[in-house]
Amino acid sequence: MVTYLDDQSESKRLGILSAYNILDTPPEADFDDLTQLAAQICETPMALISLLDAKRQWFKSAVGLAISETPRSIAFCHYTIQSDTPLIVEDARLDQRFAANPLVTREPHIRFYAGVPLVTADGHRLGTIAVIDQVPRQLTAEQITALQILSRQVMSQLEQRRSHGELLQREKYVQTVYYCQHWDFASQCGPSKRPGTAAGCGYFHV
C-alpha cells in the first residue's frame, strides 16, 4: 500500500509541478541528453526522468523503456520523492516494498533501481532522474554523485524552460495590449468619427 504525502503538502507540490507546464510535452534533446548520460555513467540499460502527477508518473525522457508513464501506485519514483536523498534498491525482489510490484514481476523486470529526486529551490520534490537494470547490482560513490549532479542539471533545464515560457507569455501580453490599443485608436480615427482626421481624434486646428 502506497502512503502519499499529506494532502496539504501534496496539493502544493502538484500546483508547483503544474506551473512548469511540462507534463505531456514532446521529447526535448536537452532532457534526452541527460538520461543518455545517466545510463552511460551508471552503465545501465535504462534511465529516465520522471515527474510525479496526482495519479501517475510521467516520463519526460526515457532510455530503454517503451512506455511513457505508469500508475503512481506502482512507481519506484514515488518512494524517491519522500526524501532529498537517493533511493538505491540493489535487488527489488528482496525488498518487501517492491517484490510483488508488476514492474518487477513483469516487464520491464526491474531488479536494480537508483533514483535521485528533482528538488526545486524551495525544497519541493517534483520527480526523479533514475537508472534501472534487470540484474542486481550496486553503484559506486562516484556514480551516485554523478546522478545527483545530473538531477540538478534536470532542474536547471526545467527552470530555464519555465522562464522562457513566462517570457513568451509576457511578450504575447504586451503585443496583445499594443494591438488592442492600436485598434482602438484606429477605430476612433475612422471616417465616421471625423470630418478631419485630427478633429476626429480629439485634435483641432488653430
- Contact at 8 Å (CB) between 104 and 112? no
Position 42 pLDDT exceeds 70: yes
Mean pLDDT of 151-180: 76
pTM, two decimals, is 0.79
Give me the chain's average pLDDT, please. 87
In the chain, where the domains are located: 7-163
Position 200 pLDDT exceeds 60: no
pLDDT tens, position by position, 61-111: 999 999 999 999 999 999 999 999 999 999 999 999 999 999 999 999 999
Confidence at residue 205, expressed as pLDDT on a 0 to 100 scale = 44
pLDDT tens, position by position, 49-75: 999 999 999 999 999 999 999 999 999
Distance CA(152)–CA(137), nearest Å, equals 24
Mean pLDDT of 171-194: 61
CA 131 to chain CA centroid, nearest Å: 17
Percent of the chain with pLDDT over 90: 74
Confidence at residue 174, expressed as pLDDT on a 0 to 100 scale = 60
Q: What is the architecture, at CATH level 2, of domain 7-163?
A: 2-Layer Sandwich (3.30)
CA dihedral 25, 27, 28, 33 (to 10 degrees): 140
Residue with cell 510525479: 52
